[in-house]
Chain A
Amino acid sequence: MDAILLQILNGLDKGSAYALIALGLTLIFGTLGVVNFAHGALFMIGAFCAVTLQKLLNLSFETLDETQKDFLGNPLKVETPYVEAWFGPEVGATIIDWSVPLAILFAIPIMLLVGYVMERGLIKHFYKRPHADQILVTFGLAIVLQEIVKYFFGANPIQTPPPDALSGSVDLGVMVGFDPNAIIYPIWRLVYFGFAVGIIGAVFSFLQFTTFGMVVRAGMADRETVGLLGINIDRRFTIMFGIAAAVAGLAGVMYGPLNPPNYHMGMDFLVLSFVVVVVGGMGSLPGAVLAGFLLGILESFASTTWATTTIPGINQIIIYLVAIVVLLTRPRGLMGRKGVMEE
């Protein structure tokens, strides 16, 4: 029992990332009808927002400390981050420590802007072109974004540690009545899962409970009619593109401590996220979220020693296998509407 629970928990962090990226992809596909191959790059840009903020906060100046001497007898050079000088050493150290969560605030405006510029500057011109062209141009964009990041940050993964208070593990098993040490779980993964659930909840309630969201949903159902009612649906869809970019970016920001960001992390996630979207059902938001978590957990179950000894390598291919079976037997996906992109 505790082993099963442990595997479910293990699948949650990847599942959260899949769900968030797939949610953004589906938002874009559902509103604009565009297949966005650059969405993984947005996830990566989010992660590098955290890296940038961490670098900015660690900017420091050198001073000579006369009270301390190094082994040659010269005054010791001390590096003090500007933040510590401005806010005092303790507050400054805390700010640096919490750079990843702080990067959320930093990333939201950046990602909204990136999304907005991308839609107005590029995607807008591709609504009328075939899906193949959309795939191609966004694929090219993904390469460009990835290479730009590589140019500035290098090819190696960059460590973005979580705050001290949230690093380490908790013994979850004890809390729910299992033996001690049965389920030990890193705190940051829990944080990530909670964060993902929060974002997903926010997006859904935004769509469900605000007038803006209502108009967007109406536009997803029947764009032409909404336009005929005198509503500028294009503008709202552009904003939705920005929001989808922000969702992917935030998923990336918080993912850094789980896996140090590198420039091709977006591509790695992109393929899987597409598979998730297809399994969940093209254009279905709950489907994307559900499929994201399900596939994440499935992958975690397939990685157990029992599964890998029974069928070697099942952990590598399980998601693709599921996708192939789903596409062939139920092409509209788990929760897709009938008739949406079934051919």
Chain B
Amino acid sequence: MLGLNKKDTSLLIIVALLTLLAPFILNPFPEGSAMAQFNAGYPDLMQRFVIFGIFAIGFNILFGLTGYLSFGHAAFLGVGSYSAVWMFKLLSYNVIPAIALSVVVAGLFSLLIGFVSLRRSGIYFSILTLAFAQMSFALAYSVLSNPKFNLTNGETGLQVYADDPQILQGANAPDLPHLFGLPMRATYTMDLGAWSFDFNAGYYLCAVILMVVFYLAIRIFRSPFGMMLRAVKSNQQRMNYTGLNSKPYTLAAFVISGMYAGLAGGLMAAMDPLAGAERMQWTASGEVVLMTILGGTGTLIGPVLGAGFIKYFENIFSKINDNVLHSWFAFLPDGLEDAVVFLIHPFIGKGWHLTLGILFMLVVIYLPGGLVEGGQRLLNWFKRKKTKSDDAPSGKTEPAE
């Protein structure tokens, strides 16, 4: 289907089902029950899942395929957000031109940065992108917000004010981001017995876009272009010796991933018409690196999983407090209960970043393929258990060098 083989088609269908049915899947616990706080099916969080999923898919096209580790991708996300908000300010609250412009501007910006940064590789590339991103952050935070030329509105963040031109804004169009009149905040709540499910217009816009860009990512992974990028990762030197200039390929990958980041930024602004400089800080770039690695570098589904995983647990962990823990471990004897709660306490609530850091280190050390590799290992382990009797030697062949 759509030029994909069977395996990829089923992957695409799985992703499509997961995103479309997310309001059901993420709300497994009835409203008002004790477990309801672990529901993640509210619009704001679901939007974040999908937007960061898009961001991570894009980052993976660069890092997963070419192996170039960029520490500055948040800059493109920030640029995308700023351009989207500018479209809101100048044209209208319709999200289509805003998202389109954010992709284009982020693409141009990444072309510029990529052209310079890709002249180096390895650690130098990482530091160059880091330097560029920090520079953009500093510019957005202070320089570009002087009274004469206020492009970013500095610390306050760029937002739409009542006296902005908005030349295309119709008289009866909603006064917040909308898609041809359908406000992004519009939410239809379906009550089914004790459960309630939210269907949010903004979320579904993001979900449809996620499916499109996921499809594009599959096509890129399977194309000759994708093969070329993998070749860059495995041995760039050898490629150069065969007389092939790899730079256009890496630059194209860089720009594509920059455009994905810009798209994510634009969507972020479309969901909430505000853009701040802190989105460009290098810790934000670090976050997308975490997502991609945690999910599985170089795999298709990995980055989406990683983004969902991090955003979900970030949300859940910050909700757990000592009282919740006490109620969980109430079955233990009193002294033991306190001890267990005391031990877990640093990792929950505000300690989520500590948990994330430890988890990330464990993944890098023991599971370089991330969650996807973990899943595959588990699967293999179960398979081997089943077929323990016919212990045939594995047909692993070493490539002739």
Instruction: Name A residues whose Cβ lies closer than 8 Å to a Cβ of B.
Output: 35, 122, 125, 130-133, 135-137, 139-144, 146-148, 151, 267, 271, 274-275, 278, 282, 312-313, 316-317, 320-321, 323-324, 327-328, 331, 341, 343
Contact = CB atoms under 8 A, between A and B. Distances in A.
B45 interface: no
Interface string B100-128: 00000000000000001001111110111
Given A320-B135, A327-B124, 12 more contacts: A122-B361, A131-B123, A137-B364, A137-B365, A140-B360, A141-B357, A143-B360, A147-B357, A151-B351, A316-B138, A316-B143, A343-B120
Contacts of B282: 271
B138 A317 contact: yes
Contacts of B289: 136, 139
A143 B121 contact: no
B50 interface: no
Contacts of B135: 316-317, 320-321
13 contacts: A132-B67, A136-B289, A137-B361, A144-B361, A146-B357, A151-B351, A316-B143, A317-B138, A320-B132, A320-B138, A321-B135, A323-B127, A328-B116
Contacts of A143: 353-354, 356-357, 360
**B120, B127, B144: residue with the most chain A Cβ atoms closer than 10 Å:** B127
B255 to A, nearest CB: 19
B293 interface: yes
Interface in B69-110: 69
Interface residues of B, number: 41
B28 interface: no
Contacts of A313: 138-139, 142-144
A327 B139 contact: no
B346 interface: yes
Given A136-B364, A139-B286, A275-B131, A147 B123 contact: no
B275 interface: no
Q: Top 7 A-B pairs ranked by shortest CB distance? A: A313-B143, A143-B357, A316-B138, A147-B354, A140-B361, A144-B357, A140-B360
Interface in B127-148: 127-128, 130-132, 134-135, 138-139, 141-144, 146
**B121, B135, B142: residue with the most chain A Cβ atoms closer than 10 Å:** B135
Contacts of A328: 116, 119-120
B229 to A, nearest CB: 15
Contacts, number: 110
A151 B138 CA distance: 29
A125 B362 CA distance: 13
B4 interface: no
Contact of A312 (B120, B132, B143, B361): B143
Interface string B299-335: 0000000000000000000000000000000000000
Interface of B: 67, 69, 116, 119-124, 126-128, 130-132, 134-135, 138-139, 141-144, 146, 282-283, 286, 289, 293, 346, 351, 353-354, 356-358, 360-361, 364-365, 368
Given A317-B139, A320-B134, A324-B132, A147 B124 contact: no
A341 B122 CA distance: 9
A331 B364 contact: no
Nearest to A133: B364
B127 A274 contact: yes
B242 to A, nearest CB: 17
**A122, A147, A312, A331: residue with the most chain B Cβ atoms closer than 10 Å:** A147
Contacts of A324: 116, 128, 131-132
B357 A331 contact: no
A323 B124 CA distance: 11
A20 to B, nearest CB: 19
B67 A125 contact: no
Contact of A140 (B119, B144, B346, B364): B364
B395 to A, nearest CB: 27
A267 B67 contact: no
B119 A323 contact: no
A341 B120 CA distance: 10
Contacts of A341: 122-124
